[in-house]
């Protein structure tokens, strides 16, 4: 066995120590309870935990507004951005809601207006819905996270989507197929790839090696490592 399994850190200080050991200076993180308990609880705890840690940035988990579980949606997102949280996640399969317009339309419209990057796991949403969201909301950056799925299993979905949807981005942490990221860079450029780790399930060193040992330019490596994400964060309408 070459995988020791998840390494769970129970404090921000332990996380910071692990990041330093991996050479990772900054991170965007989500509280586990925002997915496994309730978004409002996890989001509140996240802000409390990262307060005073300038190298840690939050990502909220959101819900469509119909059940009013987060209160007035615009007010909630305004407060989120005022707290320097500039990315969001949704878990429509796990948290049992539709991403079609009759349900998630108001949420997607606000995120598109504010240009807030939307992160979603590939196994939480259908590829047809990814395509329809990208097309209807071209100002909304949509970021596909592979979570525990190997990216190579989804390349026949991802390649045509990347061809047709310029606002689609892909995280690289499970891109373990030999020279897979190199091929994506060659086909589409490096502008829509984002460094990620799927920590604590995966060891961050694996994702780091994909970038540091890739057969593409230093400038492209820096774009994937941090530049592309910083550009998306700077594009959020404050």
What's the pLDDT score for residue 11?
82
- Residue 178, pLDDT above cutoff 70: no
Task: Tell me 27's DSSP state.
Answer: E
What's the pLDDT score for residue 197?
87
State the pLDDT confidence band at 146, using cuts at 50, 70 and 90.
confident
Domain over 12-234 is classified CATH 3.20.20.140:
yes
Q: Is residue 35 within 8 Å of 91, Cβ to Cβ?
A: yes
Task: Give the range among 21-25, 79-83, 94-98, 191-195 with minimum mean pLDDT.
Answer: 21-25
- Residue 147, pLDDT above cutoff 60: yes
Q: Is residue 130 within 8 Å of 144, Cβ to Cβ?
A: yes
What's the pLDDT score for residue 177?
60
Tokens of 118: 């939307």
Residue whose token pair is 């373990």: 176
Angle between helices 12-22 and 204-212 (to 10 degrees): 30
Tokens of 183: 């091929």
pLDDT tens-digit readout, 7-58: 566 688 888 888 888 888 999 999 999 999 999 999 999 999 999 999 999 9
Per-position DSSP letters for 30-91, written without gaps between them: --THHHHT-HHHHHHHHHHHHTT-TTEEEEEE---STT-TTSSHHHHHHHHHHTT--EEEE-
Mean pLDDT of the chain: 91
Backbone angles phi, psi at 196, to 5 degrees: -155, 165
- Secondary structure (3-state) at 29: strand
Q: Is residue 173 within 8 Å of 206, Cβ to Cβ?
A: yes
Could you give the count of Cα atoms lying within 13 Å of 74 in the half-sphere of its Cβ? 4
- State mean pLDDT over 194-206: 84
- Residue 94, pLDDT above cutoff 60: yes
Task: Tell me 122's DSSP state.
Answer: G
pLDDT tens-digit readout, 111-126: 999 999 999 999 999 9
pTM for this structure? Answer: 0.92
What percent of the chain is predicted at pLDDT more than 90?
72
- The domain locations on the chain are 12-234
Q: Residue 134, Cα to own-chain centre: how many angstroms?
A: 15
What's the pLDDT score for residue 6?
54
- Secondary structure (3-state) at 118: strand
Q: Is residue 195 within 8 Å of 226, Cβ to Cβ?
A: yes
């Amino acid at each position: 066995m070459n995988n020791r399994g998840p390494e769970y850190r129970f404090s921000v200080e332990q996380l910071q120590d692990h990041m330093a050991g991996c050479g990772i200076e900054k991170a965007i993180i989500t509280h586990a309870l925002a997915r496994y308990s309730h978004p409002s609880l996890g989001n509140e705890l996240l802000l409390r935990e990262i307060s005073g840690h300038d190298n840690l940035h939050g990502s909220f988990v959101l819900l469509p507004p119909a059940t009013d579980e987060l209160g007035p949606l615009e007010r909630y997102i305004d407060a989120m951005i005022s707290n320097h949280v500039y990315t969001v996640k949704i878990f429509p399969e796990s948290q049992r809601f539709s991403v079609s317009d009759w349900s998630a339309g108001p949420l997607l419209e606000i995120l598109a207006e504010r240009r807030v990057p939307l992160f979603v796991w590939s196994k939480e949403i259908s590829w047809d819905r990814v395509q329809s969201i990208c097309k209807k909301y071209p100002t909304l950056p949509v970021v596909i996270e592979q979570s525990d799925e190997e990216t190579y299993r989804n390349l026949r979905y991802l390649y045509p989507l990347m061809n047709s949807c310029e606002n689609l981005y892909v995280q690289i942490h499970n891109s373990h197929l030999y020279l897979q990221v190199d091929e994506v860079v060659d086909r589409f450029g490096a502008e829509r790839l984002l460094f990620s780790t799927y920590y604590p399930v995966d060891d961050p060193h694996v994702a780091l090696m994909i970038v540091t040992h890739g057969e593409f330019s230093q400038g492209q490596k820096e774009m994937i490592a941090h530049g592309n994400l910083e550009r998306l964060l700077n594009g959020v309408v404050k």
